[in-house]
Structure 1
């Protein structure tokens, strides 16, 4: 019986540790999702303004 109680205690600790890891990862995913969304909005605004500025071939960018 003591062996089962030890296994259960170990499993409970493992589940708690994994829960902490998952919660931390979810927070990081939320931050990254917001950043990607912000970058996509910036890029959409840049495309609307026509400021894409693609360099073709050996053409020098305007700041040279």
Structure 2
């Protein structure tokens, strides 16, 4: 019985370590997604400004292509 409890405790410890590792990964990915989202936003704004400066009557930087 004690051996079984030790095995279960080892498994729980391993699972807790895995959860902590995955939590760190998710936190890092969340930061990366926020940075990438901001970069895309800046690129969209830059493209919209460029289109506007080129005399485009309408800013279409965020419109879907016609095949959608």
TM bucket by the smaller chain?
0.7 to 0.9
Let me know the Cα RMSD of the aligned residues. 1.0
Q: Does 1:10 align with 2:4?
A: no
Structure 1 residue ranges, 4+ long, deviating more than 6 angstroms after superposition: none
| Equivalent pairs, count | 51
- Displacement of 1:34 in angstroms is 0.0
What TM-score do the two structures reach when normalised by structure 1?
0.77
For 1:29 and 1:18, the matched residues in 2 are separated by 16
In the alignment, what sits opposite 2:59?
A: none
5+ residue gaps, structure 1: 52-64
5+ residue gaps, structure 2: 56-68
Structure showing greater relative contact order (alpha-carbon pairs closer than 8 Å, 6 or more residues apart)? 2
- Displacement of 1:42 in angstroms is 0.5
For 1:49 and 1:21, the matched residues in 2 are separated by 42
What TM-score do the two structures reach when normalised by structure 2?
0.72
